[in-house]
DNA sequence: AATCACATGTAAGGCGTTACATGATTGG
DNA sequence: CCAATCATGTAACGCCTTACATGTGATT
């Protein structure tokens, strides 16, 4: 599933401009996908060529023409096909965890600081999401939002309960090196 | 942090060939990073050019020459610099969750099936990791392994506790469409 | 005075995968 | 007999980001 396909999916929820699609990625899909204009606009052009979306143009004064995209019957069909396939595995990459894997090279203070920062970051995300979750318009979005909250909280709990293992290990390393 | 840097990190744990580095990615970093030969071998060549690793060649009969890489002092210094920087945000992408976000287009049976499959997959991962976690050699690796276990379990719990919301919503959609 | 919201796009480049190319040895 | 392990590498391509290019109007 690429961004081209996701754009198609977003258009199943209603017509939109490229600009609005970008916002939808930010507001509704931020937890699971990201997309920049540099991938959205070319994707929409390609989808138009392929007849999966159609485009109406509205000329505006003092702004670029606004192009409102709609998904076509064929587009709906193709998107349905895409999501009926078994979803590919998640792609996950974490510099934070990678750093901890090499923490034998770090001073104990740095390890503690990274973990503190991580917990702060997660707490902050939880704080800003907690409000949003309630006001999501669809059950699906609420489900995803609460999924995110749950995972962030699980991470905080794990870090708080187990950080001492890493920190103790780092201090032993320090002593051994003396 | 790119794969080039990670190769450097792996070499801080001991000399290795490109082949062995690939295995290290699979055995020890699978949860947080992936790398193919197509990125590892060019990375090692580049690191060699830059003087961050050195390379001894051993000719073997009936096999390509084995190249054993070692990190240099300069390499260690550069890697230290890399991990002392504030880690960049995680990159996460989930087709599974994306599919659920568009589940208004799916029959309720498909939603249930996807969730069942996901839970099965997570259970399987937990099963195969549970043994491994205990036998990891460093505290850091154990920490990461248990982190993975915890997150997978949190996901299973969330899905089991909340799937009915999504499934009920899907059935309502079916009825509304009739 | 500055920043955000609106609105579209391109070009260059980064980063990485997949598939290809080659081939012996060992274990099930 | 087939798959896995050992061992290196390249070429083509995919996918996406960043930075650039342009500009108005409203809000702070």
Query: CA–C1' span, B113 to C8, in Å?
Result: 41
DSSP string, B39-55: HHHHHHHHHHHTTSEEE
Q: Is the CB of B62 under 7 A from strand D?
A: no
Non-local (6+) Cβ contacts of A61 within 8 A are none
Q: Using a CB-CB distance cutoff of 8 angstroms, which residues of chain B are in contact with residue A139?
A: 165-166, 168-169
pLDDT(B62) > 60: yes
DSSP 8-state class, residue A16: B
Q: Residue A178 has what pLDDT?
A: 45
pLDDT(B173) > 90: no
**Interatomic CA distance for residues A46 and A53, integer angstroms:** 9
Q: Residue A173 has what pLDDT?
A: 67
Question: Which pLDDT tens digit goes with each residue over B3-50?
Answer: 999 999 999 999 999 999 999 999 999 999 999 999 999 999 999 999
Alpha carbon dihedral A104, A110, A111, A115, in 10-degree steps, equals -160
Name the strand (E) or helix (H) holding B170.
Answer: helix B139-177
Q: Is the CB of B59 under 7 A from strand D?
A: no
- The predicted model scores a pTM of 0.92
Which residue reads 């600009």 in tokens? A19
State how far the alpha carbon of B59 is from the alpha carbons of A138, B16, B53, B64, B79, in Å: 63, 16, 19, 7, 30
A165, closest residue in chain B (CA to CA): B139
A113, closest residue in chain B (CA to CA): B86
Q: Residue B168 has what pLDDT?
A: 92
Non-local (6+) Cβ contacts of A92 within 8 A are B31, B32, B90, B91, B92, B93
Tell me the pLDDT of chain B averaged across its residues: 93
**Interatomic CA distance for residues A58 and A65, integer angstroms:** 6
Q: Which of A83, A94, A103 sits opposite B90 (nearest CB)?
A: A94
Domain borders along chain B are: 3-84, 95-177
DSSP 8-state class, residue B86: P
**Interatomic CA distance for residues A22 and A172, integer angstroms:** 49
Average pLDDT (B162-169) is 94
Per-residue pLDDT of chain A (178 residues; tens, 9 = 90+): 999 999 999 999 999 999 999 999 999 999 999 999 999 999 999 999 999 999 999 887 767 789 999 999 999 999 999 999 999 999 999 999 999 999 999 999 999 999 999 999 999 999 999 988 988 989 999 999 999 999 999 999 999 999 999 999 888 866 555 4
pLDDT(B131) > 90: no
Q: Using a CB-CB distance cutoff of 8 angstroms, which residues of chain B are in contact with residue A92?
A: 31-32, 90-93
Contact B106 A83 (CB under 8 A): yes
Q: Using a CB-CB distance cutoff of 8 angstroms, which residues of chain B are in contact with residue A114?
A: 86-87
- The CA angle A53-A59-A60, to the nearest 5 degrees, is 125
Distance from CA of B71 to the nearest CA of A (A): 14
Task: Using a 7 Å CB cutoff, list residues 60-99 of A near strand D.
Answer: 62-64
Average pLDDT (B143-172) is 95
Contact between A146 and A133 under an 8 Å Cβ cutoff? The reply is yes
CATH topology of domain A3-84: Arc Repressor Mutant, subunit A (1.10.10)
Question: Which pLDDT tens digit goes with each residue over A124-152?
Answer: 999 999 988 988 989 999 999 999 999 99
Helix (H, G, I), strand (E, B) or coil at A62: coil
Query: Would an 8 Å CB–CB cutoff place B171 in contact with chain A?
Result: no
Contact A102 B166 (CB under 8 A): no
What the block records as the tokens of B10 is 């792996």
pLDDT(B178) > 50: no
Q: Residue B137 has what pLDDT?
A: 86
Non-local (6+) Cβ contacts of B161 within 8 A are none
Q: Residue B174 has what pLDDT?
A: 63
Q: Residue A131 has what pLDDT?
A: 86
Helix (H, G, I), strand (E, B) or coil at B69: strand
**Interatomic CA distance for residues A116 and A122, integer angstroms:** 10
Distance from CA of A63 to the nearest CA of B (A): 32
Nearest protein residue to nucleotide C9, judged by CA and C1' positions: A41
């Amino acid at each position: 599933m690429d961004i081209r396909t996701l754009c198609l999916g977003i258009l199943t929820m209603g017509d939109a401009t490229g600009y609005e699609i970008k916002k939808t990625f930010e507001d509704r899909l931020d937890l699971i996908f990201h997309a920049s204009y540099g991938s959205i606009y070319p994707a929409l052009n390609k989808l138009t060529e392929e007849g999966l979306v159609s485009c109406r143009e509205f000329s505006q004064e003092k702004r670029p023409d606004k192009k409102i995209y709609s998904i076509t019957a064929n587009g709906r069909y193709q998107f349905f096909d895409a999501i009926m396939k078994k979803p590919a595995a998640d792609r996950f990459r974490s510099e934070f965890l990678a750093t901890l894997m090499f923490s034998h090279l770090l001073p104990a203070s740095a390890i503690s600081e990274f973990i503190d920062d991580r917990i702060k970051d997660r707490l902050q995300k939880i704080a800003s999401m907690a409000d949003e979750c309630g006001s999501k318009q669809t059950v699906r979005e609420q489900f995803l939002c609460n999924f995110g909250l749950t995972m962030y909280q699980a991470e905080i709990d794990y870090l708080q309960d187990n950080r001492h293992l890493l920190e103790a290990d780092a201090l032993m390393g320090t002593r051994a090196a003396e």
